[in-house]
């Protein structure tokens, strides 16, 4: 059954910039309550404000994107990360359970929670153990597990664990736009042909953010039939070497540059390979990535060229 009222937190963020237009297209009759810096103001850590919003709007679907999402930011202010990512999520879930019990909460978890489990060197499915290796991942794992427990007490929740996703509008705090920003600056003559990088030998499972948004929309469309507590990996299943991503961007831009290792861009803990098995999402949602990696990189590079210009 199509939703009539959709509440979205983190509506001013990177993912929401792509998700909101997708949802408006897929659910044109729905009313949207968008919470973010440029929309309805909501401090997710203020329990009373969260309760009041849910009580007033009574959504039938809530997509919870609001989070401290950058690993470096969470590491730099762990107290804030725990407050927002865990306590804020629990406040929202409790408010939904109390005042909008028919609402399905679609929670943006993260494949980062698998952490050390990736050392198995295989494509992980949803049965893999949560073994976070950084503050961001730990906060997402805690919220994810707590929501799973709340599902047993009546909360309608779907937990999506997207793997690395990128696209236009993402900040340079993430690896692909960090490369694209430098490549675009070199191509425009605004930067010397020297490119600073972190670990180029790690393999990651990358997705276009628009494909991730398609998965969110599919969850909304099937919210009334997906079992509470369901976990779904959102992954391409194709690990890509970080260095090859950089090579591809340079080739698209027609740029040559000296590659210089920047120790500041290295993570304290890194894993050689992180890739996912999204067979469950394919079966349950009819979802699969549809945007080519070449299109993703070309769009990101064009985005950064436009920003620099």
Distance (Å, rounded) from C-alpha 221 to C-alpha 179? 35
Query: Are residue 20 and residue 137 in the same domain, yes or no?
Result: yes
pLDDT at 158: 98
Strand order across the beta sheet in which 156-162 lies: 31-35, 5-9, 61-64, 104-108, 156-162, 230-234
Q: Verify that 107 and 251 share a domain, yes or no.
A: no
Answer yes or no: is 296 within a domain: no
Instruction: Tell me, yes or no, whether 262 lies in a domain.
Output: yes
Q: Which residues contact 68 (CB under 8 A, 6 or more apart)?
A: 74, 77, 80, 81, 84, 85, 136, 139
Domain assignment of residue 295, yes or no: no
Q: 257 and 125 share a domain?
A: no
Sign of the Cα torsion 177, 78, 127, 226 reads negative
- The pLDDT assigned to 171 comes to 93
Total number of domains constituting the chain: 2
Residues 93 and 141 in one domain: yes
Q: Kindly state whether residue 297 falls inside one of the protein's structural domains.
A: no
48: domain CATH number is: 3.40.50.720
**Inside any domain, residue 137:** yes
We report the CATH number of the domain holding residue 258 as 3.90.25.10
Structural domain of 91 = 5-167+208-237+275-290
Q: Is 298 part of a structural domain of the chain?
A: no
How many Å separate Cα 76 from the centre of its chain?
A: 20
Same-domain check for residues 116 and 50: yes
Nearest of 171, 210, 194 to residue 292 by alpha carbon? 210
Print pLDDT tens along the chain (309 aa). Answer: 789 999 999 999 999 999 999 999 999 999 999 999 989 999 999 999 999 999 999 999 999 999 999 888 999 999 999 999 999 999 999 999 999 999 999 999 999 999 999 999 999 999 999 999 999 999 999 999 999 999 999 999 999 999 999 999 999 989 999 999 999 999 999 999 999 999 999 999 999 999 999 999 999 999 999 999 999 999 999 999 999 999 999 999 999 999 999 888 887 767 899 999 999 999 999 999 999 999 999 999 999 999 998
Same domain, 100 and 188: no
Pairing of strands 165-166, 203-205: unpaired
Residues 223 and 280 in one domain: yes
Question: Are 152 and 52 in a shared domain?
Answer: yes
Residue 135 half-sphere exposure, CB side, CA atoms within 13 Å? 21
Residue 88 sits in the same domain as residue 114? yes
Distance from C-alpha of 122 to C-alpha of 237, rounded to nearest angstrom: 10
Same domain, 216 and 192: no
The verdict on 163 and 152 lying in the same domain is yes
138, part of any domain: yes
The pLDDT value recorded for residue 118 is: 97
Residue 180 is assigned to a structural domain of this protein: yes
191 and 285 in a single domain? The answer is no
């Amino acid at each position: 059954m199509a939703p009539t009222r959709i509440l979205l937190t983190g509506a001013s963020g990177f993912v929401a910039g792509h998700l909101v237009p997708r949802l408006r297209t897929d659910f044109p009759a729905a009313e949207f309550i968008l919470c973010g810096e440029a929309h309805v103001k909501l401090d997710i850590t203020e329990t009373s404000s969260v309760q009041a919003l849910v009580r007033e709007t009574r959504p039938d679907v809530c997509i919870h994107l609001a989070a401290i999402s950058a690993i470096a930011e969470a590491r730099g202010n762990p107290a804030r990360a725990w407050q927002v990512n865990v306590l804020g999520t629990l406040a929202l879930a409790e408010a939904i359970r109390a005042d909008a019990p028919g609402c399905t909460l679609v929670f943006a978890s993260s494949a980062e929670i698998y952490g050390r489990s990736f050392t198995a060197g295989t494509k992980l499915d949803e049965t893999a153990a949560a073994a976070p290796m950084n503050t961001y991942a730990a906060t997402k794992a805690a919220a994810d597990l707590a929501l799973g427990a709340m599902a047993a007490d009546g909360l309608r929740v779907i937990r999506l664990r997207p793997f690395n996703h990128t696209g236009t509008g993402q900040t340079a705090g993430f690896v692909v736009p960090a490369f694209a920003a430098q490549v675009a600056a070199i191509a425009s003559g605004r930067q010397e042909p020297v490119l600073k990088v972190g670990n180029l030998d790690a393999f990651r499972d990358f997705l276009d953010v628009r494909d991730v948004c398609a998965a969110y929309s599919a969850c909304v469309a099937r919210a009334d039939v997906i079992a509470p507590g369901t976990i779904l990996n959102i992954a391409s299943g194709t690990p890509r070497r970080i260095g090859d991503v950089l090579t591809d961007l340079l080739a698209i831009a027609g740029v040559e540059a000296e590659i210089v290792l920047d120790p500041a861009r290295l993570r304290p803990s890194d894993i050689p390979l992180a890739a996912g098995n999204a067979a469950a999402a394919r079966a349950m949602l009819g979802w699969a990535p549809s945007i080519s990696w070449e299109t993703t990189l070309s769009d990101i590079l064009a985005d950064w060229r436009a920003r620099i210009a």
